[in-house]
Each structure stands twice: as structure tokens, then as C-alpha cells.
Amino acid sequence: MDFITIGNVKIHRTAALAPMASVADRAYRLVCKEFGAAYMVSEMISAKGLCYSDRKTEELCTVLPQEAPYALQLFGEDPEFVGKATAILMKYSPDIIDINMGCPVPKIAGNGSGSALMKDPDTAYNIIRSAVSNSDVPVTVKFRKGWDDDSVNAVEFAKMCQSAGASAVTVHGRTRKQMYSGKADRDIIRQVKNAVDIPVIGNGDVVSGESAAEMYKQTGCDLVMCGRGTYGNPFLFKEIECYLEGKEYTPPTTEEKLEVMYHQAELAVKFKGEKIAMSECRRQCAFYLKGMPSAAQFRNRCGTLSTLDDLNRLIDEVKSVL
């Protein structure tokens, strides 16, 4: 199997799990790892929240050894805070620090963080420099094609990241204006790959083994990253690995999907307690049920899940109509 290295971190060249706020928590990451995710990135961690010792922010930093190799991802618009937060993160022993410069949601970009930094490359440069100077591990940057179609600057931005000391970049092939609509532009990822000497991770519309192989072929990227394609489908990583290695892939049965759904919920309860975990699991359980018999009815029921017993009863009902 092929590998890539980011700094001194060795990663299988199959597929990575994208950092997804309110989705890619410890339970989700562990399940994806069980099915072959080669590299993980945490949910976004607020640099200011970490510096001000926010308890919820610190919870996001807790990663288990079996998740390795993994990155902790920071967001922020102030180089000083990002530098201080990077230094704080060293006590959590991450393999990599990732800086988010691609999040499109208004509450992040509206504060000058995330994808808004693509409009301010000077500040972005200073943020990366500050992180690199305070980190004992490689620093990477995740960004988008550009702010909108009139300001596509991913190539120039990638060169800036490299000059600032980034050890790799991840490019999502959509603009901020697109959010998650339309198709991801793979050619812009190819252009970035041709423009820099550091590893490039390609992100956007990887939903199958075939689409992962196409991402590699069309862009020349060093690693592909999966995001929304993993919703209710951690099996995607196994599918990609099999496809790339020319092995036969057997899709999970409905019963197997239900078992993994329960396993993920059980892990979430272990980490967060039943009340919080089951509230957060409702959306993810609904994704697992997509495409099953009477799916609409059962997915609506997910909105009422409060306990693992509730989930057990729902699973029994789903099995009764198979």
C-alpha cells in the first residue's frame, strides 16, 4: 500500500476523514477508523476559546491514541491567539496541527475566520507563521477554491501557505459562495498540486471507491479526503481501500448497518453521557436509515431518540419490516 508523509507523519494513501463540526466527534472518528480511515482531523477548535480555557473547547481536543495519525484543527482570525492556542494544543500530543481557512458558515467566516481568510492572505500568512513557530509538529492548512467565482485564488493561496511554513494543504474544490452546492472543481486541485512542493489533499465529492480513484487520477493529489459522503456510511473507507487495491468489496447488509449505527451511538454515550450523546446522534442515525424499507417513517422517529433503549426499540421495528 502506498504512503504519504506530512512532515514526519506517515499516512496510508487511501482516504482521510474531513473535519466536520458537530459530526466528526470521537465516536464518529473511531467508527470511521475501524473501517479504514487513514487519517483523521478533529472538529474545529476555537483558538480564542482554547486560550480562555473554555471547557467545551477543551473537550474537542481530546483524541484517543487509536485515532492516530490525527490532526487537531484550529480556527481563528488573530495570529496571536492562534499561536497561543497551538502551544496549548501540544499537551494533547497531536500528530499534526491543521488551520481551518475554508469553513463557509456565516458564524465563522463572518468573524474573519475560516474561508474569510482567503480574502486576507497577509493575515492568513501571519496566522500560519504563528502556528508553525509554536508547534512541535507539522502544520497544515485547509482552504477552498476561493471566496467566489470572481476571486478564485487557491493556487496563490497554496503558494503562500507553503512559504509560511505549512507542511501540506487540503483543497476543497468549491468556493465559499457555493457552500456545499454544485460540483467540486477538481481541476483547481490539480493546479494547486502542480504549483507547490508540499503534499496536497483533495476534498470534495468523494462518495465511492470509483470517485476516490478519479480524484487521485484527475488531480494528482497525494491523499483524498471524505466528508459528507461518510454520513451514515463509515463503510466508505473500506470501499475506497478495496477499490484502490483491486479487491472485491461487499457492501454492508441492513443488519450490519444497524449494528454499526448502534455501536456509534453507544460510543457517543460513553464519551458524552446519554442525554447529550443521543440528542447529537439523532441526525446521524437518520443518515444510517436512509434507503431502508419505510425509511421516511423511521427517520422521522430519530428526532425523538433520547436513550439507547429508544434506539434499540427503533432498530427492532426496522428489522421487523425487512
Q: Which triple of cell numbers denotes residue 275?
A: 442525554
- Per residue in 43-73, pLDDT tens? 999 999 999 987 777 778 988 889 999 999 9
pLDDT for position 54: 77
Of residues 41, 183, 180, the one with CA closest to residue 100: 41
Tell me the CATH architecture of domain 3-245: Alpha-Beta Barrel (3.20)
Tell me the CATH architecture of domain 254-320: Orthogonal Bundle (1.10)
pLDDT for position 1: 57
The CA distance from 305 to 249, in Å, is 32
pLDDT for position 247: 96
Instruction: Quote the pTM value.
Output: 0.95
**Mean local confidence (pLDDT), 182-193:** 97
Question: What's the chain's average pLDDT?
Answer: 95
Task: Compute CA distances 117 → 40, 50, 78, 126, 129, whole Å.
Answer: 23, 20, 11, 11, 14
Q: Tally the C-alpha atoms within 13 A of residue 62's C-alpha that lie toward its C-beta.
A: 9
Does residue 173 register a pLDDT over 70?
A: yes
Q: Which residues pair with 226 in a beta bridge?
A: 17
- Per residue in 61-112, pLDDT tens? 988 889 999 999 999 999 999 999 999 999 999 999 999 999 999 999 999 9
Task: Give me the percent of the chain exceeding a pLDDT of 90.
Answer: 90
Please report where in the chains the cell 454544485 appears, as a residue.
182
Task: Compute CA distances 31 → 67, 203, 234, 263, 286, whole Å.
Answer: 10, 20, 7, 8, 16
- Per residue in 135-168, pLDDT tens? 999 999 999 999 999 999 999 999 999 999 999 9
Whether residue 253 contacts residue 285, with contact meaning beta carbons closer than 8 Å, is answered with: no
Q: Say whether the peptide bond before residue 234 is cis (omega within 30 degrees of 0).
A: no
pLDDT for position 88: 95
- Per residue in 254-295, pLDDT tens? 999 999 999 999 999 999 999 999 999 999 999 999 988 888
What are the residue ranges spanned by the domains of the chain?
Answer: 3-245, 254-320
Work out the burial of residue 286: count CB atoms within 10 Å of its CB; fewer than 13 is exposed, 13-18 middle, 19 or more buried: buried
* Contact partners, residue 167, CB within 8 Å, separation at least 6: 6, 7, 96, 138, 139, 140, 198, 199
Res. 197 pLDDT band, cuts 50 70 90: very high
**Mean local confidence (pLDDT), 11-40:** 95
The CA distance from 142 to 169, in Å, is 6
Instruction: Tell me the catalytic residues.
Output: 103
Please tell me whether residue 138 adopts helix, strand or coil conformation.
coil
